[in-house]
Structure 1
């Protein structure tokens, strides 16, 4: 008896290539958040460390959501290399400013991908990306608030630690409508 093997299609469109690039973008963001978390953890700032550890996992899950979508569409997936991350910072503000710039960059990447899907009349792909667009609005807003609070604290990171205790950010409000995650959500 011959086993039927599912045929996996090679990527044939710009949008499909951008999907794979987005996997790499999200994994890069995950690794950078992990480096930030470790930096805060080593300096006995547990709430900041926990926040950035969670962000690392969230970005990993975002990458795996894109992977699952590509698997569901029978599109070939190759996991891209992860770029080197920044590990050396002179003060906590640098980490939060870097995280904000990273979220802005991811927003641009998601927007470009969504635009490409629309231009290719890939309505299913465009629908899939709507969750990511909403998520990015929230991610940029959260990181902007954290940077504002950091600036107001004038270097006292315990003010930011207190803020995270009182008003935890990253409450996963979009999780109930999130696309499935390849391998399961961490």
Structure 2
């Protein structure tokens, strides 16, 4: 089983009891504002998503980690790696992403989890390069990208929703563990 411990977090595969707290995160309009079409998602959608994330682990050898707080055992959200099939112009690529419940914002958890995931991608999984895709205006994600040391590669537009996107990148030679 793939697990990563940071000073405050456990990044791990998904458990059955993660469904309800992740569904609560997906039901928060503040969390979902910058994701997809911005709409909240319910329990059924979250269950299908977790199933897909676990399948990606099995197929690709990487995926989205459940992020658990070591101090309390609470599920804070996710961080991890995926193939961004919705944006064909960046393929082949592996993207890092994160989503945390709003009660966990502003405490450095996203940066801590993303840094550990990036190290996992470049050192453990042998990827040469990782990208991040975020909507223009999502300053919180922009801060995490900056802390990871990623560089702007291009600006583009979401193929379905038409929103401006920024694609950042980092490769193995630029990464500071």
What is the TM-score when the length of structure 1 is the normalising length?
0.31
Higher RCO (CA < 8 A, seq sep 6+): 1
What is the TM-score when the length of structure 2 is the normalising length?
0.32
Larger Rg: 1
Structure richer in strand, relative to its length:
2
